[in-house]
Structures are given as C-alpha cells and as structure tokens.
Amino acid sequence: MNDRNHMPLSRYLVLLAVAAFAAVGDFFLKQGMSRVGEIHLSRAQQAVAAVFQPMVAIGIFFLIGFFACYLTALSWADLTYVLPATGIGYVFMALLARFVLQEHVSAARWMGIFLITCGVGFVAQSHARTNPDAEMHVLPESMAAHPQEHYSQDRGSMP
C-alpha cells in the first residue's frame, strides 16, 4: 500500500496473532502450573520440571509463536505502536480466565480492560512507524546468515 496512514490487512493480522498467541500461551501455562502446584525459589529444579508438564509445554509452544509474530511486527513498526496495539490480548486473556478457567474478574479489572481496549483503539489510529522515512538499520543478508564470519573478520574472533 502506498498510503502511509494505512497498513495492509496482513500486518493487522500479525498484530492480532501476537495478542492471540500470548493469551492462549498464558492460558496453557496457567492450566499446566495449576497441575504442577506452587514452586518455591529455593527449589529451582521444580521450575525446570514444570517445563515438561504437557500443558506448560503447549503454552511454551504458543509463546514461541507469539515471539515470532512479535519480532515480525517489530521489524516494520515502532515498539510504541506494537506493544499497545497488541494490548487487545488482555481482553482475550480475561475472557479465557473468566469463562474457561472460571476465575472471578472484578468490576475494577473489567474497567481496566475496557480502558486498555480504548487505548488500543487510539494506537490503531496512529502511524505504525513515527518516522517512516528513517533508514532502517538492516544487517546485510550475508551477515545475517553467517554472523560469525563477519564478526571474526572485523574484530579478530568471537568471544
């Protein structure tokens, strides 16, 4: 699209995926950790063992999807756009918590979620990049594929 005020639908879908993957990932983490039980800092091996609980593993899988979509969004939009724009995930999470986990969501929390949703609306109306003419600092393709070679040529060797 040539209009700098609008993003293609695919980019909005990436932002939606960021929010959805985060909410679903957190949901599965909560499900799994409810089965694992309380973890104490003095017993770190409990946290490591929790990773292998199936629901936690599914949650991690979704959070990897979140991270991939988040990186994608950050590649074409400002952090101050991406983070608030994906705040709609709080709505998804509250709905999952209320209706699937049967958690009580107080009126104050619903009001907070409403305010976040209003903020998402404001952000969605703004430009994804505040300085679209600014030069992006992009690694050359060869450096991105083999950073060790370029590092060792410039600095001697990798640490």
- pLDDT digits 0-9 by tens, 60-70: 999 999 999 99
Q: What count of other Cβ atoms lies within 10 Å of the Cβ of residue 28?
A: 22
List helix spans (H) across the chain. 9-36, 44-50, 54-76, 79-85, 89-99, 107-124, 141-145, 147-155
94 within some domain: yes
Domain that holds residue 45: 9-155
- Asked, for residue 33, whether it belongs to a domain, the answer is yes
Rounded Cα gap, residues 103 and 131, in angstroms: 42
What's the CA gap between 109 and 86, in Å, rounded? 18
Residue 39 within any structural domain of the chain: yes
The whole-number pLDDT of residue 139 equals 60
> Which one has a higher pLDDT value, 48 or 130?
48
**Total domains, the chain:** 1
For 29-39, what is the mean pLDDT? 93
Range in 8-12, 96-100, 122-126 the model is least confident about: 122-126
At residue 68, the pLDDT reads: 98
Mean pLDDT for 26-34 is 96
Q: Which of 45-49, 66-70, 101-105, 149-153 has the lowest mean pLDDT?
A: 149-153
pLDDT, averaged across the chain: 84
91 Cβ contact partners less than 8 Å away, ≥ 6 residues apart: 113, 116, 117
Taking CA atoms, 151 is separated from 47, 61, 140, 142, in Å, by: 36, 32, 13, 12
- Give the per-residue pLDDT at 35: 93
Q: Is residue 4 part of a domain?
A: no
- Three-state secondary structure call for residue 56: helix
Residue 141 lies in a domain: yes
- Tell me how far apart the alpha carbons of residues 16 and 19 are, in angstroms, rounded to a whole number: 5
| Residue 100 covered by a domain | yes
Residue 44 in any domain: the answer is yes
What pLDDT score does 152 carry? 52
